[in-house]
Structure 1
Amino acid sequence: MGLLEELYQEIILKHYRNPRNHGELPGARLRVLGHNPACGDRVELQLQTDGERITEVRFLGQGCAISQASASLMTELVKGKTWAEALELERKFKAMVVEGAAPAPELGDLAALAGVHRLPARVKCATLAWNALEQAAREARAS
């Protein structure tokens, strides 16, 4: 295993073992559940907004290291972003893990999940929290 792969594995395990923004968000304006029935991974995304900006985001969930690390990394990245900015990050993340695009610099440590595109069964794990974010954006705009 090369140095870069070791670093990426370390980032994923760090966020899996000690997830950021994990836990209940009292008074959450939006709650969206993401579930992957194929493997049982679950993520409940909870958000507060001030209209167009995500002011707070937390998640509850259980599942594999990839799904939980992706949720942890995503919550760190989208907090404070507008919906438009968050959805642009989602687009870049999915291009990386679904299509194998080079990691965009603004994805930061999410680049650790770049190799997921070579593991089709894991793509759903990596995108679970991001799909919940997209659903939350739709619900926010509808309300």
Structure 2
Amino acid sequence: MQEAPQAMLVAWFSQLDDLTVLGILMSVAGAAILLYLWQGRRSKAEHIEQALREEIGGLQRKIDDQASALSVLGERVLALEEYLELVGHRQQQIESEKRDPRFYQQAIRMADQGLDVQALIERCGVSRSEAELIAAMRSAR
């Protein structure tokens, strides 16, 4: 007849001396403590990982918001550049309309004396296109 597993365990355990029993109990207690510490560490690591994921998510949202703001700013800068170019053309047009015909006669005389396009721009205050036109008229003669 076979003994019940519990009875076999009790019989085996009763044959051990006190130091062996103490050693087994210490080993079991040590294993339990290690398991507890390992789970606590794993739990702490998971908590830290979750906190880091949340922080990364928040930082990603900030980056997305800033990228969006930069995009809008870029569009506004382009619009301002276009506006400034338009204003510059209008200003140049107004200035050319205000000029006295004698002003151009002086520029033509200087071109006849051999001044190049850059010199006409600097000395007469004409635009590059006007200076090129005057130079082209001079060379056509």
TM-score range, shorter chain: under 0.3
TM-score, normalised to structure 2, is 0.27
If each structure's strand is expressed as a fraction of its own residues, which one has the higher value?
1
TM-score, normalised to structure 1, is 0.26
If each structure's helix is expressed as a fraction of its own residues, which one has the higher value?
2
